[in-house]
Structure 1
Amino acid sequence: MHKFPQLLATCVAAVMATSAFALTPAEQKAEKDRISADYKAAMAQCKSMNGNAKDVCEKEAKGHEKVALAELDFKKDATESNRYKVAKARADAGYDVAVEKCDDQSGNAKDVCKKDAKADHVKALEAAKVAEVRNEPNANSAAKAADVSDARKDADRKVREAEYKAAAERCDALSGDAKDKCVTDAKRRFGQ
C-alpha cells in the first residue's frame, strides 16, 4: 500500500518532465528563425569560396539546416517516426557532403569514394531503421523480438551489399589475375 504514493510521484514527475521539454509555439517560431539565420550565415560564408570547396560548404549548410529542422520536429513531437527522420536527415546530410567531397578526385578514386559514401549512408539508414523497430511499442515481446531480428537481418544484407560494391570498385583499379583475386576475395568477405 505504501508503494502507491511512490508510483504516483514517479508518474507525476514523468508527466512534468515531458511537458517541460515541449516547445511553445513562440519557442518553435524562435527556433525556426534561429535555424534559418544560421543557414543564411553559413551560406554567406560559402560565397567567398570557389570551386568544389564552395559546393561542399553549401552542402554542409543545407545538411545542418535539414538536421536542425528534423530535430525541431522531434522536440515538438518525440515519436519514433520523428526520431527516425532525425537519423535519416543526418545520414542524408553526411552522404551529400561526402559525395560532394568526392568531386575533388578523379577516375577510380572518385568512384571508390562515392561507393564508400554510399556504403556509409546505407549503414546509417539501416541502423536508424533497426533502432526504429527496436523502440516501437509492442505488447507482445516475442513478436517485437522477431521484428527486430528481421530488421537486423535485412539491414545486415543491405550493408553487406553496399560494402561489397565499394570493395568491388576498389578492384577495378587492378587488372588481370590481381583483379580476379580481389573480386573473389570481396565476394567471399561480403557473402555475395
Structure 2
Amino acid sequence: MNRLNINAIALAISLGFSAGAMAEGMTKTDYTAGKDKISADYKAAKLACASLSANAKDICVAEAKGAQKVASAELEASYKPTPKTRYEARVAKAEADYGVANEKCDDLAGNAKDVCVKEAKAAQTTAKADAKAQMKTTDANVTANVKTADARSTASAKTTEARKDATADKVDAQYAVAKEKCDAKAGAAKDDCLVQAKAHAGK
C-alpha cells in the first residue's frame, strides 16, 4: 500500500469519526453506537496497516491511533458539550497530529530529523496553547455574561425602586399642594376638599 492510500484511509476514518461525533442532541444510544463504531473503525484501520512495513507501518498505526483518540474526544464533546470536553477534543487532535508528525520524522536523519521533531513539537505546543486560550476565553465570556445578567437584574430592580420612590414623592408633593389649596376653604367645603385630596393621593 503506498503513502497516498495510507493518507486516504486515515483521512476517511478521521472524517467518519468527526461526522458521527459532531451530531447534535446525542442520546445515550447514539453515544454507545458511536463508541462501538470508533472501536470497529480503529480495528479496521490497524488491519490495513498490517500489510505495511518499517516506518510506513509505524506512521499508519500512529494515524489510526490518533484518529481513534480524536474521534473519542469529539464524541465526548458532542455527548457532554462543555468548554472542558471541547478543550480535550482539541488537545487530542494536537497530540494525534504530533504523534503522526513525529513518526514521519523517522524517515529523516541528522539535522533534518532534529528540525522535523522540533517543528512537530512546536506545532503541538501551539495547538495546545490555542486550545487552552479558547477554553479560558469561553469561561471568561460565560462568567462575564452571568455578571452582566446579574448587573442588569440589579439595575432593573434599582430602576423599579427608583421609579416607585419618584412616584411616591410626586404623589406626596401633589397632596401637599392639594391640602394647601384646601386651607383657603372653611367648614364643610374644606373637609370635602381634604377628603378628595386624600382619595386622589391614595392616602
Matching residue of 2:109: 106
SS of residue in 1 equivalent to 2:45: helix
Q: Of the two, which has the highest radius of gyration?
A: 2
RMSD: 1.8
Partner Cα distance (1:85, 1:140) in 2:
23
Query: Which runs of 5 or more residues in structure 2 are unaligned?
Result: 1-22, 148-203
AA paired with 1:80? P
Does the C-alpha gap of structure 1 residues 57 and 82 become closer, same or farther in structure 2, counting only changes over 3 Å?
A: same
Query: Are residues 1:62 and 2:65 paired?
Result: yes
Query: Which runs of 5 or more residues in structure 1 are unaligned?
Result: 1-19, 143-192
Which shifted more, 132-141 or 33-42?
A: 132-141
Shift in Å, 1:139 = 2.8
Shift in Å, 1:32 = 0.7
Identity %: 49
**1:11-26 → structure 2 map (5 Å cutoff):** 21-26=24-29
**1:54-93 → structure 2 map (5 Å cutoff):** 54-93=57-96
Aligned residue-pair number: 123
Matching residue of 2:6: none
Partner Cα distance (2:146, 2:43) in 1:
47
SS of residue in 2 equivalent to 1:21: coil
Partner Cα distance (2:54, 2:95) in 1:
22
SS of residue in 1 equivalent to 2:144: coil
AA paired with 2:67? H
- TM-score of the two chains, using structure 2 as the length reference: 0.58
Shift in Å, 1:141 = 9.6
Partner Cα distance (1:87, 1:54) in 2:
25
